[in-house]
């Protein structure tokens, strides 16, 4: 591994300054993505700017007047263990629990998971159905990005050079019911072959599917059919499964074939909808 400069600034303003001063700078949170890329020499940073020594960036999960707020440095363990997340959004706690292995979950942050922008990121689909808002900073001013506009392609996000993901805001976190599902080649410790979250808020359904396109998707055509109302039955759920399978763009890769991914989506969307509506 090539030598690099290491900086640990105390403010976002200084972090952005350090980042901009040197071409080939990378921000560093938990390092669980970045270190692998450095080990494999896919990236060769000139400078690493560590984000973990600032008062302005933290791992706190709080109720605020604008919604539930999750600090960018919250780890998968913080999210899975948070009483607030367990109370209001247990499916988000599940997504954090199904992420990787216990050791990685202690380091991997939600900010890093989103900024890495893998199509399979486990925080993607729960936040997509929650219409989460990403709050970023460059030191002087903040920007709010709706999550549906955050993912731009494989490993591409809406962040501008030097911009830091500061926190995630979930305005609608009360009275929602959801289920997260993940299919991997092996149990735990692997990225998803398919992941998905289905949410129900009153009579409204939202469906998001990950690892089946360059970015996590909301399947609006399926949502429109569900949100027309009417009888919620197995026939409808199977139809929605098929609609979802038609509206993804999976590829063949080492984790599975496109055909198998479509099959999982067809079956699991129907199953999750049945589970979500049972007892109503």
Ligand X SMILES: Cc1cc2nc3c(=O)[nH]c(=O)nc-3n(C[C@H](O)[C@H](O)[C@H](O)COP(=O)(O)OP(=O)(O)OC[C@H]3O[C@@H](n4cnc5c(N)ncnc54)[C@H](O)[C@@H]3O)c2cc1C
Name which of residues 52 to 81 contact ligand X (CB under 6 A). Answer: 72
Three-class secondary structure of residue 182 per DSSP = strand
Least distance CB 43 / ligand X (angstroms): 8
115 interacts with ligand X by CB under 6 A = yes
Q: Considering beta carbons, is residue 145 or 232 the nearer one to ligand X?
A: 145
Three-class secondary structure of residue 102 per DSSP = helix
Closest CA to 87 of 121, 63, 111: 63
- 153 contacts: CB under 8 Å, gap ≥ 6: 117, 214, 215
Q: Considering beta carbons, is residue 28 or 151 the nearer one to ligand X?
A: 28
Residues touching ligand X, count (CB under 6 A): 30
Q: Return the residue nearest ligand X (CB atom).
A: 112
- DSSP class of 252: -
250 interacts with ligand X by CB under 6 A = no
Contact yes or no for 125/92 (Cβ under 8 A): no
Least distance CB 233 / ligand X (angstroms): 34
Residue selected from 80, 113, 197, 208 as contacting ligand X according to rule CB under 6 A: 113
Residue selected from 5, 104, 145, 251 as contacting ligand X according to rule CB under 6 A: 104
Name which of residues 8 to 27 contact ligand X (CB under 6 A). Answer: 26-27
Residue selected from 67, 71, 112, 126 as contacting ligand X according to rule CB under 6 A: 112
Name which of residues 181 to 210 contact ligand X (CB under 6 A). Answer: 189, 191
In order, the DSSP letters of 27-89 are: EESS-TTHHHHHHTTS---SEEEE-TT-TTS---EEEETTEEEEETT-BHHHHHH-HHHHHH-
99 interacts with ligand X by CB under 6 A = yes
CA of 225: how far to CAs of 141, 210, 232, 270, 280, in Å? 40, 20, 11, 13, 19
Residue selected from 6, 21, 36, 62 as contacting ligand X according to rule CB under 6 A: 36
Element (H, E) at 125: helix 124-129
Interacting residues with ligand X (CB under 6 A): 26-34, 36, 51, 72, 99-100, 104, 107-109, 111-113, 115-116, 121-122, 159, 164-165, 189, 191
């Amino acid at each position: 591994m090539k030598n690099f400069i290491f900086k640990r600034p105390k403010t976002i303003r200084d972090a952005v300054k350090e980042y901009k001063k040197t071409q080939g700078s990378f921000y560093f949170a938990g390092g669980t993505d970045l270190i692998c890329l450095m080990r494999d020499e896919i990236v060769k940073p000139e400078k690493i700017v560590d984000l973990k020594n600032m008062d302005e960036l933290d791992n706190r999960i709080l109720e605020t007047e604008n919604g539930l707020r999750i600090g960018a440095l919250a780890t998968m363990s913080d999210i899975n263990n948070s009483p607030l997340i367990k109370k209001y959004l247990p499916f988000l706690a599940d997504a954090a629990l199904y992420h990787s292995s216990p050791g990685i979950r202690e380091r991997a942050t939600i900010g890093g998971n989103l900024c890495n922008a893998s199509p399979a990121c486990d925080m993607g689909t729960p936040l997509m159905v929650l219409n989460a808002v990403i709050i970023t900073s460059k030191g002087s001013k903040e920007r709010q990005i709706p999550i549906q506009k955050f993912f731009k392609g494989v490993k591409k996000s809406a962040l501008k050079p030097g911009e830091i993901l500061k926190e995630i805001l979930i305005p609608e976190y009360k009275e929602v019911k959801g289920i997260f599902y993940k299919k991997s080649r092996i149990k735990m410790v692997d990225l998803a072959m398919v992941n998905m979250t289905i949410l129900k808020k009153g009579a409204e359904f939202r469906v998001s599917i990950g690892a089946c396109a360059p970015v996590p998707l909301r399947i609006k055509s399926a949502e429109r059919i569900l949100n027309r109302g009417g009888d919620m039955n197995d026939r409808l759920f199977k139809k929605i499964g098929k609609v979802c399978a038609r509206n993804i763009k999976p590829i063949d890769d080492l984790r599975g074939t496109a055909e198998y991914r479509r099959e999982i989506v067809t079956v699991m969307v129907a199953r999750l909808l049945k589970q979500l509506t049972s007892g109503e």
